[in-house]
Structure 1
Amino acid sequence: MLTKEEAVSAGSHFLKTLAYPERASSVVMLPDTAVEFPFGWTVRFDFQEHIETGNPMHAPFSSVVVVPHAGAAHFPPTHLPVADYMELCATGNWPPRKG
């Protein structure tokens, strides 16, 4: 099981090295927003330019990173509420089965 600090660090590493390497210095993690679920953690982040200007053009498209207790950090799907996605993952119902 990951601690909150480990989840924030793993999320930061994912964002700065894989998701936004060209904007690594702009990524600001928001550790006070970290929420633990049975599947893992969610942590919000922002870009420094958005924080400074408030301009939505400088905001990330998705401002949440998922850090599973076991597995790689990733973005949740945007078509589901994050809590629903985390519940589906925890119960083994993600990805959805095609019928």
Structure 2
Amino acid sequence: MLSRDEAVAAASEYLKKKAYPEKPDSVVMLPETGINYAYGWTVRFDFKEHIETGDAAQAPFTSVVVVPHDGTDPHFSPTYLPVDHYMELQASGEWPHGWPPRKDR
């Protein structure tokens, strides 16, 4: 299982090298926001330009990165679901959303 520091480092690398390679210096990690779930960590981030100006147009579209405990690549959760619900679906094995159906229902 990853520590918060390891999750923040993995999220930062993902953001700077894969998600936003054109603006790695703009990514500001918010490690104190890390939440540990059964499936993995969620870590928030922001862009330096948004922090400095407060201009919503400078903010990231989604500001949460998911870092799975199993070592698979960090990723963004779907924006149509609350993050808590997405993490619950992942942990229960019901992702993608409701598939496969749980046997106890």
What is residue 26 of structure 1 aligned with on the other side? 26
Shift of residue 98, structure 1, vs aligned partner? 7.8
Higher relative contact order (CA 8 A, sep 6+): 1
Q: Aligned partners of 2:21, 2:73: CA distance in 1, in Å?
A: 17
User: What's the TM-score once normalised by structure 2's chain length?
Assistant: 0.91
Q: Does 1:94 align with 2:95?
A: yes
CA RMSD of aligned residues (A): 1.2
- The percent of aligned pairs where both chains have the same amino acid is 60
Shift of residue 59, structure 1, vs aligned partner? 0.1
Which runs of 5 or more residues in structure 1 are unaligned?
Answer: none
Which runs of 5 or more residues in structure 2 are unaligned?
Answer: none
Shift of residue 42, structure 1, vs aligned partner? 0.1
Which stretches of structure 1, 4 residues or longer, exceed 6 Å deviation after superposition? Answer: none
Superposed CA deviations along residues 33-53 of structure 1, whole A, max 9, x for unmatched, are: 000000000000000000000
User: What's the TM-score once normalised by structure 1's chain length?
Assistant: 0.97
Where 1:80 maps in the other structure, the secondary structure is: coil
Tell me which protein shows more helix as a share of its residues.
Answer: 1
Q: Aligned partners of 1:12, 1:95: CA distance in 2, in Å?
A: 25
Provide the aligned length of Structure 1 versus Structure 2. 99
Q: Aligned partners of 1:11, 1:95: CA distance in 2, in Å?
A: 22
Q: Does 1:78 align with 2:65?
A: no
What is residue 2 of structure 1 aligned with on the other side? 2
Where 2:2 maps in the other structure, the secondary structure is: coil
